[in-house]
Structure 1
Amino acid sequence: MKWSLNELGQIGSIPFQFDEVVEVAESIVNRNSEIIEISPAHVSGFFVVDSLGLLGSFKVNVEVTLPSTRSLKQVKVPLDFEVSEYYVSHRTQDLTRFDANDVVIILEDDIFDLNQAVEDNILLQIPTKVLTSEEKTDIGLPQGKDWEVLDDSRINLSQKSKDTVDPRLAKLKDFFKEDN
Structure 2
Amino acid sequence: MLKWTVQELIKHDQEPLHFSTTLDVKTDLQDRDPEVLDVSPIQVSGDIVYDRGDFLVSVNLKGDLVVPSMRSLTPVTLPQDFTFSEIYLTDAGHADQYEDGEILMPLEDAELDLLPAIEDHLLLSIPMQVLTPEEVASGDMPSGDDWEVLAEEDFDKAVKKEKQADNPFTKLKGMFPDDDQA
For the pair 1:53 / 2:69, whether they are aligned, the reply is no
Relative to the length of structure 2, the TM-score reads: 0.80
TM normalised by structure 1 equals: 0.81
Tell me how far apart the structure 2 counterparts of residues 38 and 99 of structure 1 sit (CA, whole Å): 34
C-alpha displacement at 1:145, in angstroms?
3.2
Q: Supply the distance in 1 between the matched residues of 2:9 and 2:127 (Cα, whole angstroms).
A: 33
- Residues 143 and 162 from structure 1, CA distance in 2 versus in 1: closer, same or farther, beyond 3 angstroms? closer
Alignment root-mean-square deviation, CA: 2.3
Report what 1:142 is aligned to: 142
Whichever structure has more helix as a proportion of its residues is 2
Counting only pairs closer than 5 Å after superposition, residues 41-80 of structure 1 correspond to structure 2 as 41-51=42-52, 53-80=54-81
Whole-angstrom distance in 1 between the partners of 2:94 and 2:81? 33
Distance 1:16 1:152, change over 3 A: same
Q: Which has the larger radius of gyration?
A: 2
* Residues matched between the structures, number: 163
1:40–1:160 Cα change, 3 Å: farther
Q: CA deviation at 1:114?
A: 2.5
* SS at structure 2 position matched to 1:100: coil
Instruction: State the one-letter code of the partner of 1:34.
Output: E
SS in 2 for 1:42: strand
User: Secondary structure of the residue that 2:80 maps to in structure 1?
Assistant: strand
Q: Which runs of 5+ in 2 are unaligned?
A: 165-182
CA distance in 2, matches of 1:162, 1:55: 57
Deviation at 1:146, TM superposition (A): 2.9
Q: Is the 8 A contact 1:85 1:105 kept in 2?
A: yes
Aligned sequence identity (%): 34
